[in-house]
Amino acid sequence: MTTAPSLGPRSTRIDVLRGIAILLVLFHHFNIAYRLDGTVLSQLFGWEAVRAVARNGNYGVTMFFVISGFLITSNARRRWGALQDVKARAFYGLRVARIVPCLLLLLVAVNLLAWAGVAIFQNRAPAGATPLPLWLVNLASLTFWMNVVVDKYGWTNYALGVLWSLSVEEVFYLFFPMLCALLRRERRLIAFWLAIAVLAPVYRFHRQDDEGGYLYAYFAAFDGIAIGCCTALLADSVVLSTRLKTLLSWTVAIAMVVLYLRWPIAQSHVLGVTAMALGTAVLLATMSDRSTDGTAPARLRWLSTAFGWFGRRSYELYLFHLIVLGLLRTLFPPALASGGDRMWLLGGYMLLSMALCDAIARCYSEPLNRWLRSRLSASRA
């Protein structure tokens, strides 16, 4: 008899970084729908400051890519001992257990809302063009080329456009076990992933006048994942004192904040995406869980708890927050919302997204993840 495999211990620092990343994405998408100029936020901090925070939400996705590559590689190393021993069937099974249940639920929800006539969830196309059929967008979502659709046709479906990043990730991981088996040695894998990391800004440079190209294409975004994979292999070999790690963490974090706030991603994407990815990698390698868990000073503990919660629910929040925002846009058209209305809507959007995604995680995705993993474990026994 075998027991269900553990989902593994959670790292507080990783959950905090994930929480920051998903909050940047949530704020970015809300500001696109309901511009926050003329609100209390812009009166307190100035519209330029609010816009600086809101406009670069895609950097949150860059952070996710690095964390994902770091975790996938670290977990594979721990599970199989050496990357050359990664079992492809088990690797893909674990990806399915985590990714597919929420993806299917999202597609069911969007299709039902579209068929019910809720316009914002139906496919759209540039003026004068014919929208893509919903079945084709569903197929692109399930087979991980939604980023190709977004690149070619724009944000074809309001709630499904976010699947561009899932497409980038899963195509990268499609080749992960094959690459490990082919290259075998970790130094060869590092060399290959570093080459990918160098290729990405070159690719973005040659497509810098095309938002779909420099944001959503596979090779425009692979560097974040590749850098995360390299970090997982190299982090243990770099020995630094606790004081130096702390200094490095704070220095890099401040530099990332300056990059994020100073330049819009439309101007900084060529090297900015790679810089943000490298910064996230440094934080993964140098931050200590002791600085973010229960041993942290009381003044920081509540912040790490809050960010950590968002980090633990980041996948569900990423997939389903546009369902909430799309329904709010339908019920409360942005053109009719005053500054005060938009602040109430921001609060409602956050609370509803949190409640919905917590329920999905507790009642659906986590139980299914555990069940699918137990089936995978039983099939290997």
Spatial contact of 62 and 228, defined as CB atoms under 8 Å apart: no
Compute the half-sphere exposure of residue 145: CA atoms within 13 Å on the CB side of its CA.
8
Three-state SS for 162? coil
Q: Which residues neighbour 141 within 8 Å (Cβ) at sequence distance 6 or greater?
A: 103, 107, 160, 163
Look up the pTM and report it. Answer: 0.92
Rounded CA-CA distance 242/245 in Å is: 5
Residue 130 host element (H or E)? none
- Residue 372: C-alpha distances to residues 97, 105, 199, 284 (Å): 6, 16, 36, 29
Per-residue pLDDT of the chain (381 residues; tens, 9 = 90+): 333 334 456 788 899 999 999 999 999 999 999 999 989 999 999 999 999 999 999 999 999 999 999 999 999 999 999 999 999 999 999 999 999 999 999 999 999 999 999 999 999 887 667 889 999 999 999 999 999 999 988 899 999 999 999 999 999 999 999 999 999 899 999 999 999 999 999 999 999 888 888 999 999 999 999 999 999 999 888 788 888 999 999 999 999 999 999 999 989 999 999 999 999 999 999 886 655 555 555 556 777 888 999 999 999 999 999 999 999 999 999 999 998 899 999 999 999 999 999 999 999 999 999 998 888 776 665
pLDDT in tens, 127-162: 667 889 999 999 999 999 999 999 988 899 999 999
What average pLDDT is seen over the chain? Answer: 91
Three-state SS for 241? coil
Compute the half-sphere exposure of residue 315: CA atoms within 13 Å on the CB side of its CA.
20
pLDDT in tens, 194-208: 999 999 999 999 998
Residue 78 host element (H or E)? helix 58-80
